[in-house]
Amino acid sequence: MALERDTFHLSGPLHLTSVDWTDVDHRRSVAACMVQGVYIMQRDRQENRHGPEALAPPWWNFFNFEVQTLLIDDADSSIFGAIYKFKPDPSLDHNTLSTHATPTHIIAFRGTLTKGDAFTRDLQLDLHFVRNILHRSSRFEIAIQAVRNLIASGNSNIWLVGHSLGSAMAMLAGKNMVKNGILLESHLFNPPFVSAPVESIKNKKVKHGLRIAGSFVTAGLAVAVKAKKNHQQKNNGSNNSFLDLAAWVPCLYVNPRDHICSEYIGYFGHRVKMGSIGASGVERLAAQHSIAGLFMDAFGKESHEPIHLLPSANLTVNLKRARDLKEAHGLHQWWRLDQQLESRTYR
């Protein structure tokens, strides 16, 4: 039986009858709906809803997009992503027509489904993210190849969008493209951040104290590992890799009550506070490393830069109080009209 949240005319942003592609709220809402379209396509598949019974098409048709390519996981045949192509309708208002601000294509990735035959595979990939080996998964290989093929075909103004695990996929793809000199506009909803839930501590002094201690410990370990291994050239390359990402400014959307992504608030905000006490150098070094990765380096094991570490971002926080974690981590909040959003760009 179809859920209300899956049905566009019951839970979608019906107010966006004319999209102004220069409006940040409109861009965010459309990006979120494209991800929702991927979720519903997989639910349609699970529930055997086809043709007029399928609930997914209105989530992209409403904004004049069509599905160009489905991204299918080779392990369980689930739909985990889609490439949408914009098809302007000449009869519509000029704001809805293709402009320099309009994406020609949107590549969207869904997050974890807790019901149906995709759950086991999704959970496996959640663990891959925690272990920082998502880049080794066949799902990511399919995703990054789709991105490369689309770019190679000469298409421009491509967006990467995703929610939860899908945000991690999009972020990893975006980082890979930066290495090739390509900066893709990215909208990442509730992106996971692997860390102790410091942001959930209500006492600001305790929270700030823990973050300062964590920065000094991480920076100290980074220096110690570098000295012990005596791989100066290798470490310089790693640091440059992180700093090379500075020009890419993905849009992150987080909720303070969502412990899966809320650490981004402290991750970026803490840099400003460290600068105010004259410790920006320490934080600059700490922001490039994770303690787990440093320990792996110290013991001679291969480690990769954690996906969630970013030098720059446009961070949007939803300050409207969520009833529970499910609502705080939900995708629907990002196109609702009753939001209390606060945005800031960190570079």
Q: Quick one: pLDDT band at residue 88, thresholds 50, 70, 90? A: confident
- Domain presence at residue 167: yes
Q: Is residue 313 part of a domain?
A: no
Q: What is the pLDDT of residues 233-270, one digit of tens each?
A: 444 444 467 888 999 999 999 999 999 999 999 999 87
Q: d(Cα 91, Cα 70) in Å, to the nearest integer? A: 28
What is the separation of C-alpha 220 from the centre of its chain, rounded to a whole number of angstroms? 29
Identify the residue whose tokens are 């601000």. 101
Cβ atoms of 138 and 75 within 8 Å: the answer is yes
The pLDDT of residue 283 is above 60: no
- pLDDT over 90 at 14, yes or no: yes
- The tens digit of pLDDT for each residue in 19-28 reads 999 999 999 9
pLDDT range class, residue 209, cuts 50, 70, 90: low
- Asked if residue 77 belongs to a domain, the reply is yes
The 3-state DSSP class for residue 255 equals: coil
Residue-level pLDDT at 219:
47
For the stretch 138-194, pLDDT in tens is: 999 999 999 999 999 988 899 999 999 999 999 999 999 999 999 999 999 999 998
Given a contact cutoff of 8 angstroms between Cβ atoms, the answer to whether 108 and 81 are in contact is yes
CB under 8 Å to 218, separation ≥6 — which residues?
A: 285, 286, 289, 290, 291, 294
pLDDT at position 15 = 93
- pLDDT: which is higher, 309 or 78: 78
pLDDT band at 197 (very low <50, low <70, confident <90, very high): low
Residue 229 lies in a domain: no
Amino acid of residue 26: H
pLDDT at 21: 95
On the CB side of 16, how many CA atoms lie within 13 Å of its CA? 30
Number of domains in the chain: 1
Give a yes or no: residue 98 inside a domain.
Answer: yes
Residue 166 inside a domain? The answer is yes
- Local confidence band at 223 (pLDDT 50, 70, 90 cut-offs): low
Look up the pTM and report it. 0.83
What whole-number distance in Å separates Cα of residue 145 and Cα of residue 55?
Answer: 28
Give the helix, strand, coil percentages of the chain, each rounded to 5: 50, 15, 40
Is residue 256 a part of any domain in this protein? no
Question: pLDDT by residue (tens digit) across 287-332?
Answer: 565 545 544 444 455 546 688 889 999 999 999 999 999 999 999 9
**Is residue 1's pLDDT more than 60?**
no
233 falls within a domain: no
- Residue 118: both structure tokens together: 């995709």
Average pLDDT value over all residues in the chain:
84
Domain, as residue range, for 127: 4-189
pLDDT at position 217 is: 53
Most confident range (mean pLDDT) of 63-77, 263-277, 280-294 is: 63-77
Q: Are strands 158-163 and 185-189 parallel, antiparallel or unpaired?
A: parallel
Contact assessment for residue 105 and residue 83, using Cβ atoms and an 8 Å cutoff: yes
